[in-house]
Each structure stands twice: as structure tokens, then as C-alpha cells.
């Protein structure tokens, strides 16, 4: 229907009320008496969105290429970037409301890496396969690890194993080297954040917020050390747990280094991982990982600025302090995605200064994705993860 014929939505309008009124307005709009007006005002179809089918990994019938394409189409399907000036139908909100709400909060996903999105003097590092030859004898150990990932993935698919099996294999086969690094803390670690509320119909910010507690399947950050620890070759004063606790409780400018408020065990988080098994939704893994990554970007931004009271102007401590970033990894069965995320001010073409839209955006772009059911794809995943580790 035409925008002027759409239902009027207020701050109190519920989704049920909107759905009922939209149905009534649509019936009125399509009455025979309105056909002449439709013919006069209709300008043709200028755009459309194709909703890909859901992917049931147990029942999927097709080859590896078809499964990969189906998952990629579903993973990236977010209804296009949200336009806060449009009145979306109940069906569009049902299908894409979660992604539109994320867009209003500033979280955007792009299915490929686009350097032009990196603005305001920011540099973003992404791992690559440049100068890495998988035929080189030096890759023997990594290829051995890759074969284990391949074998476990094929076994999990054949036996229709639960999400726990996929997650356990990710910890043991993909993240084991980071897990064994004494400088890093890798854990199923809580994070707290103040989540802006969004309108159920408009999908824009309401101006209210609530504190939420989330637990990603894995969070990667720096390890801290107790002053009583002796003999550790990687212990530094900057990562002293006691020192971080004093900074946390500072009267004028307490610093949060751990995403779990009040703790100092895992600090300066730089990556997050979310897994979904057979019964999951790969888009939900993407949404969860990006929300966790956005929380960590907010933390890193605050830590990169000069300390000061809440509400005060805080400038970056150095000329390069704003060059922080995070990585988000997701797995849907054997299909993995690696995203890089960074933060910047919202631009005019992204509805900056529009009511109900965030001032900051968090851009997450796909760096790589594949089904790790063959040695080469598994090796590629390890090559990229190992570079992030280094």
C-alpha cells in the first residue's frame, strides 16, 4: 500500500495492534473502488527482497556447493539496511525486525570486506593468505590439525551430533593454541552491557535502555596476573589484577577492562565466538556475535580515551588510539564465518541525526567463510585464526 495509507504508529502501539490495523487497511486499499487510483498512482516495482529458504542441515538434499550457497544466502539475509522513514509490513518485521533493531542500535553486517567503509582515518587489519603456501613443508603441522577438524566435522554431520559436540570440537581443534597461550584468557565469559530498547513496530530506539547479561560461547582477551604469582615469564604490571581492581574502583574515573562488570580476569577482549548446531539458526549466531563484538568495541573505545568523569569529554590518548577492532567468529555446523568489526560515527547516508537511530555504528564485514569438510577449507580457517593469535 502507499505510505499515506499505512497505519499510524505511536509509541504505545503493539505489534498485535499494528498487525490487525494493517490487515484492515490492506483490505480497504485493495477494494475494487480503489482500483482506478491504484492504476493512476502505481509506478511499477522498483525493488524487491527474496527471502531464502531456511537450511535444515539434517534434511538438506544437495551437494557441498549447494549447501554452501544456501547457508551463505541465509546468513547474509537481513532485509537490506534499515530505513527508519519507511513503514514496514508486519511480514517484513517478522522476518527482519531483529536485524532492523540491530541497525537502529548501529550494528551492520556486510557480506564482503569493503575498504571504503573504513573512514575517519581508521585502519583495519585483516588476516589473509598472502605469502602462505599450503604446499610448503612448513605447513605440515597446520595441515595435520586441519585434517582433524575435517574428520570431526564429517563425523558430527554423519552422526547428527548436538551443538555441544560442535562447540567442544571448536575449542579443541580450532582454538587450542590460543587456549594454551598463557598471555591470553579464553573462556565462556559473561558480559554486561546497557542495551537500548527498540520499538516493536518502528524498530527505532525508544530512548530507554536496560542492562543485559549475555554469555557468548567463547570470548578471547588478555590474561591478568595476581601480584602473588611468581616466576611467570609473561607477567606485566599493566595486567596486574590488583592494579586493575584499583583502577576499576577509582572514585573519579573507574575503568572497566573486563566485560563482566566487577571482574578483572579477562581484559581487553578482542574476539568473540558463537556456535549453532543442527537445530540452530546461522543468522542468530551472527546477531549474537555482532552484539557481543559491539559491546567489546564500546569497552575498547572507552579504554582508549583519557579517563574522566561520566559525561565529560574524553579524547583519545594518542593519535592511533582509535585503531582498535574486534573479530567475530560463528559456526553453523561445519560452516564457519570470520568477521572483522570496528566502530565509527554514523554518517549522513546512514541516517545520522535521525531520531531513533544511534550516533555510533559498528561495522562487521565478512573476511572469510567456508564449510570445513575438506582439508583445504579447514587449513584456511586455522591459517586465519593463527594470524589473529599472533
Mean pLDDT of 198-210: 96
Contacts of residue 159, Cβ cutoff 8 Å, sequence gap at least 6 = none
- For residues 67, 72, 77, 80, the Cα torsion angle rounded to the nearest 10 degrees is -150
Q: Taking 90 as the threshold, does the pLDDT of residue 49 lie above it?
A: no
CA 8 – CA 40 distance, rounded (Å)? 24
Task: Express as a percent the part of the chain with pLDDT over 70.
Answer: 91
CA 194 – CA 207 distance, rounded (Å)? 12
Per-residue confidence at 359, pLDDT binned at 50, 70, 90? very high
Per-residue confidence at 64, pLDDT binned at 50, 70, 90? confident
Q: What is the pLDDT of residue 384?
A: 98
Q: Taking 90 as the threshold, does the pLDDT of residue 378 lie above it?
A: yes
- Supply φ then ψ for residue 278, to 5 degrees: -60, -40
Per-residue pLDDT tens over the stretch 36-48? 766 666 656 555 6
Per-residue pLDDT tens over the stretch 106-137? 999 999 998 888 887 888 999 999 999 999 99
30-39, 268-277, 330-339: least confident range = 30-39
Q: What is the pLDDT of residue 281?
A: 85
Task: Express as a percent the part of the chain with pLDDT over 90.
Answer: 63
Q: Which helix (H) or strand (E) holds 276?
A: strand 266-276
In the DSSP assignment, the letter for residue 25 is: H
Per-residue pLDDT tens over the stretch 270-314? 999 999 887 678 999 999 999 999 999 999 999 999 887 777 788
Q: What is the pLDDT of residue 7?
A: 82
Per-residue confidence at 3, pLDDT binned at 50, 70, 90? low
Amino acid at each position: 500500500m502507499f505510505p499515506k495509507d499505512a497505519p499510524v504508529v505511536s509509541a504505545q502501539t503493539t505489534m498485535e495492534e499494528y498487525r490487525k490495523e494493517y490487515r484492515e487497511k490492506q483490505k480497504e486499499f485493495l477494494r475494487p473502488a480503489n482500483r482506478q487510483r491504484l492504476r493512476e498512482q502505481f509506478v511499477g516495482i522498483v525493488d524487491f527482497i527474496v527471502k531464502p529458504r531456511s537450511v535444515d542441515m539434517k534434511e538438506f538434499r544437495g551437494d557441498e556447493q549447494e549447501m554452501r550457497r544456501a547457508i551463505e544466502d541465509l546468513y547474509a539475509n537481513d532485509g537490506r539496511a534499515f530505513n527508519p522513514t519507511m513503514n514496514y509490513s508486519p511480514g517484513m518485521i517478522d522476518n527482519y525486525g531483529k536485524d532492523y533493531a540491530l541497525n537502529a542500535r548501529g550494528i551492520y553486517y556486510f557480506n564482503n570486506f569493503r575498504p571504503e567503509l573504513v573512514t575517519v582515518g581508521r585502519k583495519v587489519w585483516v588476516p589473509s593468505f598472502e605469502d602462505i603456501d599450503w604446499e610448503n613443508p612448513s605447513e605440515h603441522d597446520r595441515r595435520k590439525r586441519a585434517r582433524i577438524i575435517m574428520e570431526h566435522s564429517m563425523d558430527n554431520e554423519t552422526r547428527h551430533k548436538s551443538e555441544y559436540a560442535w562447540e567442544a570440537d571448536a575449542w579443541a581443534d580450532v582454538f587450542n593454541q590460543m587456549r594454551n597461550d598463557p598471555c591470553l584468557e579464553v573462556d565462556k565469559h559473561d558480559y554486561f552491557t546497557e542495551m537500548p530498547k527498540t520499538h516493536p513496530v518502528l524498530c527505532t530506539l525508544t530512548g530507554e535502555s536496560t542492562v543485559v547479561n549475555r554469555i557468548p560461547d567463547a570470548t578471547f582477551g588478555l590474561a591478568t596476573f595476581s601480584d602473588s604469582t611468581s616466576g611467570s615469564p609473561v607477567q606485566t604490571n599493566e595486567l596486574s589484577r590488583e592494579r586493575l581492581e584499583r583502577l576499576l574502583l577509582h572514585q573519579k574515573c573507574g575503568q572497566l577492562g573486563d566485560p563482566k562488570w566487577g571482574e578483572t580476569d579477562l581484559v581487553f577482549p578482542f574476539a568473540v565466538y558463537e556456535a549453532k548446531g543442527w537445530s540452530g539458526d546461522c543468522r542468530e549466531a551472527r546477531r549474537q556475535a555482532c552484539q557481543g563484538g559491539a559491546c567489546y568495541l564500546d569497552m575498547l573505545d572507552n579504554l582508549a580515551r583519557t579517563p574522566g568523569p561520566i559525561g565529560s569529554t574524553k579524547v583519545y590518548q594518542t593519535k592511533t588510539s582509535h585503531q582498535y577492532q574486534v573479530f567475530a567468529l560463528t559456526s553453523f555446523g561445519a560452516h564457519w564465518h570470520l568477521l572483522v568489526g570496528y566502530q565509527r560515527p554514523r554518517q549522513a547516508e546512514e541516517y545520522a541525526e535521525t531520531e531513533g537511530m544511534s550516533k555510533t555504528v559498528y561495522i562487521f564485514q565478512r573476511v572469510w567463510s567456508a564449510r570445513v569438510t575438506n582439508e583445504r577449507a579447514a587449513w584456511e580457517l586455522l591459517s586465519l585464526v593463527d594470524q589473529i593469535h599472533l
